[in-house]
Structure 1
């Protein structure tokens, strides 16, 4: 699989390099995620500049929350697929930056007891 960027998704002044296959598979979701990331980065810039108004912060919090919800759905889907492919608890612990395999095992077990949520379904392309 070629991982060299062939296409760049542009949103809110942000450029994200993707392979042509990735861009095709993600479609408009690539632009959505890029736009959300751009707004989250704008929120950080406002904070660092010390000029964030309540309205600015409200918008930044809303966009950051939506980005976090989507990223959490992506990670949940990845962990579920990792389990389906019989990935080890040690490898999962390393991937999740955990110091304990038991913690990774516990988190995976808790996830697998639940049905996929809307964001997890979105991540695998089963929900808009």
Structure 2
């Protein structure tokens, strides 16, 4: 079978599982993740010829980059709407003030940033460097 056709069928399998699950009334996202895990566990890509593995790696890297970009674009488009509705709700509620929204957000931001920084640093201490020689 031609390599691009195999890769296209692999992508179509994930999309088809999403559509079928949505049509039945289940979660399409979970179905696509389960299909991807099944494909990964079955070793379809791992046992494929080298040319297909290289092409699949580049295709998945490109798709990952595009979808990450789309997620951030969608978040950026929704953020002003979410913020204005939060401020409107804060104005309507006499118990909440707008400065409390800022303070809570900053506290959350600092906590998450610190936690992420410490987890990355702890993980880097346990990982060998790419530039160090390792003995076999």
TM-score using structure 1 length? 0.35
In terms of fraction of residues, the more strand-rich structure is: 1
**Rg larger in 1 or in 2?**
2
Q: Relative contact order (C-alpha < 8 Å, sep 6+): which is higher? A: 1
Higher helix share: 2
